[in-house]
Chain A
Amino acid sequence: MLAFSLLGLMVLNSATRSIDGGTGITLKQVLSLIIGVVLALVLSLIDYKDLRIVGPFLYLGTTALLVYVLFKGFGEETTGAKSWMMIAGFSFQPSEVAKITFVIMAALFLDRLKEKSGRLNMLKLIVYSAIPIALVMAQNDTGTAMVFIFTFAVMVFIYGLPYKYFLAAGAAFVLSTPFLWKFALRPHQKKRILTYLFPESDPTDAGYQILHSKRTIGSGRLFGKGLYKGIQTQQGFVPVKESDFIFTVIGEELGFIGAVGVLLFIFFILLRCIHVARNSRDQFGSFLVTGLTGMLAFHFIENIGMTIGLLPIAGIPLPFVSAGGSAMISNYIAIGIVLSVSMRRKKTIFDSSQ
């Protein structure tokens, strides 16, 4: 885990060399990493069953913060997302932490449902899940909202929701696309989808990122151009390379080998997480870990997918690598929780003897 983060740091450092105040970004990232690792270690020592008790409070707290940023927050003007607030001189993104508390809350209710299914719990789960999603949507941060939705879907899937519900949801989504297109989507979102489908149609503006990203990654070929030597990266042809498009830097400078390495790393992390989830001592632990895993997986796949033109662009960073303190810290919190579950799993020996 740590190794992956260090690799991320290196790449980030490379990516930020050509930006004014680039070292500042890297330093902040190092600081966040240290905080994150410490938090993860602390969390792994705490029994996750305590989360049953603290969970609702944490959930209420983060929801309150989400409401707060909705009115008092600030953000980038470009995408219109208002999801930042200041805490002790640092900018902070409550939605990152809300992802974690959201998972805890959902795991809690799924566990209750499994014990004794009740209409009320079901309703509560849906309402409590909908609140942060709605709040994030209200911040104009569609990408993060999608993370919530995907995570939720993974969790209810694991819970055992019959396939037919997923099919129905899928069908409903497909059927509603024309209406969404017409009434719900804002111009910049439409543009993103259009450039995803036809990137060459608008190479100067919206398609620019994706074309250059592909071109840059492609130019890395097998071995890459070497760290710090990516011409496209260093000369600023790739926008937001320090955050959402950091994978292009990996692609160009470390080449195919580097990209495959990172993918294997990610696969290993996901594999480990699911292993932990399978062997959790109780269902609460399973739900918790699968939720967090789903969250991370969505980040990984969507982020990489968009840099190589496979998926539409959404403002989703690459966990552990992209610049962003809140994300780094909350990702490590997630890892901490997974570790906590992992350390308290039942012994495999018992498992096989059953």
Chain B
Amino acid sequence: MAGTGLLIKKRMVFLLLVFSLSIIFLLGRFVWLQLVKGNEYRQLAFEQQRREREISPKRGIIYDRNGKELAYSASVERVTINPREFRESCDDVEKAAEELAAILELDRESVLKKINSNLGWQSIKRKIDKDVGNQVRQWAQERELAGVYVDEDSKRFYPYGNLACHVIGFTGTDNEGLEGIEAVMDKYLKGYPGKILSGMDASNRQLPFEQELRIDAQDGLNVVLTIDEAIQHFATRALEKAIADNKVLNGGAAIVMDPRNAEILAMVSKPDYDLNNPWAAPDIPGIDESTWKGTTEEEVDILRRSVWRNKVVADTYEPGSAFKAITAAIALEEGVVTPETPTNDAPVKIGKHTINCWRVGRLHGSMTFKEGVYNSCNPVFVKVAMDIGIEKFYKYVKAFGFYDKTGIELGEGRSIFHKEPREIDLAVASFGQRFQVTPIQMITAYAAIANGGKLLKPRLVKEITDSSGNVVQKFEPEVIRNVISRETSDTLKEILEGVVSKGTGKNAYIEGYRVAGKTATSETTEKGRYIASFAAFAPADNPVVCVLVILDNPTGPYGYYGGVIAGPVVREILEQTLDYLGVERRYTKEEEEKMRQQVFVPELEGLTLAEAKKLLEKNNLRYKIEGEGYTDETKVVQQTPTAGAGVLGKSVVILYTYDPGEQVKVRMPDLLHKTVEEAAEALNRVGLNIRIIGSGEAVRQQYLPGTEVRKGEIVEVEFRHLDSSVLEKSVEIPGIQ
């Protein structure tokens, strides 16, 4: 026999080579798995062997800018079971399930199902009170049950309920942030969970030789907002009142910003919801509260579209005439006009469209540019926009940030502009029509006008602090770009102040605080649905607060004009905020004269009538004496109003020469549509005094006509300008898309 042939031998060498290579390959894999990635795999294996119960970290607190707690976590407890241990230690599983369900107010079936499961751990109930947790402990001890664990858990509380709900947001069942700052700042707030470790085998039996090991949770960091709880309150209350008074159907928004650093002091969006119960049935039409569960996808979608929606950042609206301030800024910056440039409101023809002033048929006639702004006269703006030109105009619109997201911490909507604007688009854009921006973009642009021309990034978060109050991270003001010069800013501020003191913005006028601003009324794509808004800042020469108020679909008795219904809201928010911030009032000459009439009621009780009369005369006050048979020497027993009350001069003080028990009452007169003077006179006549809110004609009085009121009492009367001087309205130009 020839033995093995050469070919066979060759092939054997080849075969050996293949085997060797395969083995080297395997070897390489071992190097990779065991030497290179060994630590990682060991970690994974370790984790697998350990089954742990989690200790929730305490979520960080959300503070307002002054350290008031807007959201905090409190320690509660949670019940977890190890089903296998539980079953093994229990002779009657069904009964145990029933008892446990009773303590925790749960459904017996669901508890039983969890007990009978084969998973390692089953969470029975979370976020229970400590005393309920103790009940469970006691119960488990009495029945000698194993595998029942009561550990700490944390629950989120929002002490202010609805207040600033869209800013703060809320958390889910696992304390994870779902909305607002809770969601955006989740990584700071959440902290790191701790663990209770116990050794486990693959079938989930606790290994007896292992001890329980506890790793403490690391608490989350705190978030300090720029929001001021007090200002948030002012803005919320004012907006709520306006929504109720004007039967506003689609809610509204209010923002208060410090224009110097773009810190948001208040952000209100309506409708809103209670942060402690975000899944509750929303208070909007068409919702049946009895069948509402708040858990279905459909319902969550409704919540998301209604009460959870933050109109300030998520929605866009047609800014209307408030945008004229931007057009004016561009025109002034580009030198197209000066405040004194003569102009008129004759209709302007653009192509086949004619643009009229809103006061068609009763035109303002010739006027200066600044008067055009006071009167919110459309043709005036169309003319300057034409002079500016399409390219330059939109370049500035971009520079004011209307094309970009502002960069605020919350999720923003996108503004909508014509991609390639034509002349007619420019013409209507000059007075704020046919494009949409978000309210936050609008107020940020106004802040730029107010602060000397810098576009800043609006901010809600001031800083991040740790549990002992040390600042971990501070968020500084961020200048995006310079949009207009300081000179332009100053000129425009003066013009906008004129809008409030002389023009359509009169209802936002506050004595002593020089308010500057611009009204707006725009019609939406929905027929008959208007948006009334007002953007303002004060004091005009050195603005510290910037406010934007938007009312969506007002249907109330005062109509839908921004100047009429949004103006008073701005006034209320500005006045309260400026007072709260301690901004000094500086009165004009005219105001000062009026001021002199304001006096304080002196302390009169205990004086003789002669002394009292003398003192009152000195204070420019009148009096009425109640009593019989008194002389100059009779002592004053009681007085209304009480000492220290601020009243207008010539107010009536009622002096009692006896203890009246119940004071004398008079009937409240009807003051509707009366001027301030007329109303004051009417009240004084019956022995009542007035507190004036706003200016113009009386629209609301503290008591209904005919109500019995204590004689001498100070009655609050709200006035408003309802005459044509504040009625400006966007005029629809047919045929423009």
Chain A contact residues, CB within 8 Å of chain B: 114, 154, 157-160, 212, 214-222, 231-232, 235-237, 251, 255-256, 259-260, 263, 266-267, 270-271, 274, 277-283, 286, 290, 293-294, 297, 301, 304-305, 308-310, 346
Q: Is the CB of A270 within 8 A of B45?
A: no
Q: Is the CB of B34 within 8 A of A256?
A: yes
Which B residues are CB-close (under 8 A) to A294? Answer: 15
Per the 8 Å Cβ criterion, residues 1-22 of B in contact with A are 1-5, 7-9, 11-12, 15-16, 19-20, 22
Assess A283 versus B8: contact at CB under 8 Å? Given A214-B33, A236-B201, A301-B23: yes
Q: Is the CB of A251 within 8 A of B201?
A: no
Assess A308 versus B48: contact at CB under 8 Å? Given A220-B38, A256-B35, A274-B16: no
Assess A251 versus B30: contact at CB under 8 Å? Given A274-B15, A281-B1, A310-B25: yes
A212 to B48 Cα, complex, angstroms: 10
Decide yes or no whether B74 CB sits under 8 A from chain A.
Answer: no
Using a Cβ cutoff of 8 Å, how many contacts connect chains A and B? 140
Q: Is the CB of B11 within 8 A of A158?
A: yes
Q: Is the CB of B41 within 8 A of A219?
A: yes
| Max chain B Cβ within 10 angstroms of own Cβ: one of A158, A263, A279, A308 | A158
Distance between A136 CB and nearest chain B CB, rounded to angstroms:
23
Q: Specify which of B12, B27, B41 is in contact with A278 (CB 8 Å cutoff).
A: B12
Chain B residue at smallest Cβ distance from A213:
B33
Decide yes or no whether B42 CB sits under 8 A from chain A.
Answer: yes
Decide yes or no whether B736 CB sits under 8 A from chain A.
Answer: no
Q: Is the CB of B12 within 8 A of A232?
A: no
Q: A215-B44, A256-B30 are in contact. List 14 more A-B contacts (CB 8 A).
A: A160-B8, A160-B11, A217-B30, A217-B34, A255-B34, A256-B34, A256-B35, A259-B34, A263-B27, A270-B16, A282-B3, A301-B23, A308-B30, A310-B25
A271 to B49 Cα, complex, angstroms: 41
A114 to B42 Cα, complex, angstroms: 55
Q: Is the CB of B20 within 8 A of A267?
A: yes
Which B residues are CB-close (under 8 A) to A219? Answer: 38, 41-42, 44-46
Q: Is the CB of A221 within 8 A of B35?
A: yes
Which B residues are CB-close (under 8 A) to A346? Answer: 3
Q: Is the CB of B48 within 8 A of A290?
A: no
A281 to B20 Cα, complex, angstroms: 25
Q: Is the CB of B26 within 8 A of A301?
A: yes
Which A residues are CB-close (under 8 A) to B48? Answer: 212, 215, 232, 237
Assess A221 versus B38: contact at CB under 8 Å? Given A158-B11, A160-B8: yes
Which B residues are CB-close (under 8 A) to A301? Answer: 19, 22-23, 26
Map CB proximity to A onto B35-73 as digits: 1 under 8 Å, 0 otherwise: 101111110111011000000000000000000000000
Q: Is the CB of B42 within 8 A of A274?
A: no
A316 to B563 Cα, complex, angstroms: 85
Q: Is the CB of B12 within 8 A of A215?
A: no
Q: Is the CB of B7 within 8 A of A214?
A: no
A284 to B35 Cα, complex, angstroms: 44
Which B residues are CB-close (under 8 A) to A214? Answer: 33, 41
Decide yes or no whether B203 CB sits under 8 A from chain A.
Answer: yes
A216 to B2 Cα, complex, angstroms: 51
Q: Is the CB of A231 within 8 A of B16?
A: no
Chain A residue at smallest Cβ distance from B43:
A219
Chain B residue at smallest Cβ distance from A214:
B33
Distance between A226 CB and nearest chain B CB, rounded to angstroms:
14
Summarize A's interface: helix, strand, loop or mixed.
helix
Q: Is the CB of A308 within 8 A of B7?
A: no
Decide yes or no whether B31 CB sits under 8 A from chain A.
Answer: yes
A119 to B474 Cα, complex, angstroms: 89
Which B residues are CB-close (under 8 A) to A283? Answer: 1-5, 8
Q: Is the CB of A277 within 8 A of B12?
A: yes
Q: Is the CB of A286 within 8 A of B8?
A: yes
Q: Specify which of B8, B23, B49 is in contact with A231 (CB 8 Å cutoff).
A: B49
**Leading 10 A-B pairs by shortest Cβ distance:** A218-B41, A221-B38, A219-B45, A219-B42, A235-B201, A236-B202, A256-B34, A218-B33, A282-B1, A160-B7
Q: Specify which of B5, B30, B37, B44 is in contact with A259 (CB 8 Å cutoff).
A: B30
Decide yes or no whether B29 CB sits under 8 A from chain A.
Answer: yes
Distance between A293 CB and nearest chain B CB, rounded to angstroms:
8
Q: Is the CB of B45 within 8 A of A216?
A: yes
Which A residues are CB-close (under 8 A) to B44? Answer: 215, 218-219
Q: Is the CB of B40 within 8 A of A157?
A: no
Which A residues are CB-close (under 8 A) to B25? Answer: 310
Q: Is the CB of B42 within 8 A of A218?
A: yes
Which B residues are CB-close (under 8 A) to A274? Answer: 12, 15-16, 19
Which A residues are CB-close (under 8 A) to B8? Answer: 158-160, 283, 286
Which B residues are CB-close (under 8 A) to A297? Answer: 19, 22
A266 to B4 Cα, complex, angstroms: 25
Chain A residue at smallest Cβ distance from B202:
A236
A297 to B26 Cα, complex, angstroms: 13
Chain A residue at smallest Cβ distance from B45:
A219
Which A residues are CB-close (under 8 A) to B33? Answer: 214, 217-218, 251, 308
Q: Specify which of A236, A277, A310 is in contact with B26 (CB 8 Å cutoff).
A: A310
Which A residues are CB-close (under 8 A) to B20? Answer: 267
Distance between A336 CB and nearest chain B CB, rounded to angstroms:
21
| Max chain A Cβ within 10 angstroms of own Cβ: one of B7, B22, B49 | B22
Q: Is the CB of A305 within 8 A of B11?
A: no
Supply 19 A–B pairs (Cβ within 8 Å), ascending by A: A157-B15, A215-B41, A218-B40, A218-B45, A221-B39, A222-B34, A222-B38, A231-B49, A236-B203, A251-B34, A256-B31, A256-B35, A263-B30, A267-B19, A274-B16, A282-B4, A283-B4, A301-B26, A309-B29
Q: Specify which of B3, B7, B31 is in contact with A281 (CB 8 Å cutoff).
A: B3
Distance between A325 CB and nearest chain B CB, rounded to angstroms:
27
Chain A residue at smallest Cβ distance from B38:
A221
A114 to B5 Cα, complex, angstroms: 10
Which A residues are CB-close (under 8 A) to B45? Answer: 215-216, 218-219, 231-232, 237
Distance between B304 CB and nearest chain A CB, rounded to angstroms:
32
Map CB proximity to A onto B428-444 as digits: 1 under 8 Å, 0 otherwise: 00000000000000000
Distance between B5 CB and nearest chain A CB, rounded to angstroms:
7
Chain A residue at smallest Cβ distance from B33:
A218
Assess A305 versus B26: contact at CB under 8 Å? Given A160-B7, A274-B12, A274-B16: yes
| Max chain B Cβ within 10 angstroms of own Cβ: one of A114, A236, A259 | A259
A166 to B474 Cα, complex, angstroms: 70
Distance between A49 CB and nearest chain B CB, rounded to angstroms:
10
Chain A residue at smallest Cβ distance from B25:
A310
A123 to B11 Cα, complex, angstroms: 23
Chain B residue at smallest Cβ distance from A285:
B4
A297 to B12 Cα, complex, angstroms: 13
Q: Specify which of B22, B29, B40 is in contact with A308 (CB 8 Å cutoff).
A: B29
Q: Is the CB of A263 within 8 A of B5?
A: no
Q: Is the CB of B15 within 8 A of A154?
A: yes
| Max chain A Cβ within 10 angstroms of own Cβ: one of B20, B30, B34, B202 | B34
Which B residues are CB-close (under 8 A) to A277? Answer: 4, 12
| Max chain A Cβ within 10 angstroms of own Cβ: one of B20, B41, B203 | B41
Q: Is the CB of B11 within 8 A of A157?
A: yes
Q: Specify which of A237, A278, A280, A290 is in contact with B202 (CB 8 Å cutoff).
A: A237
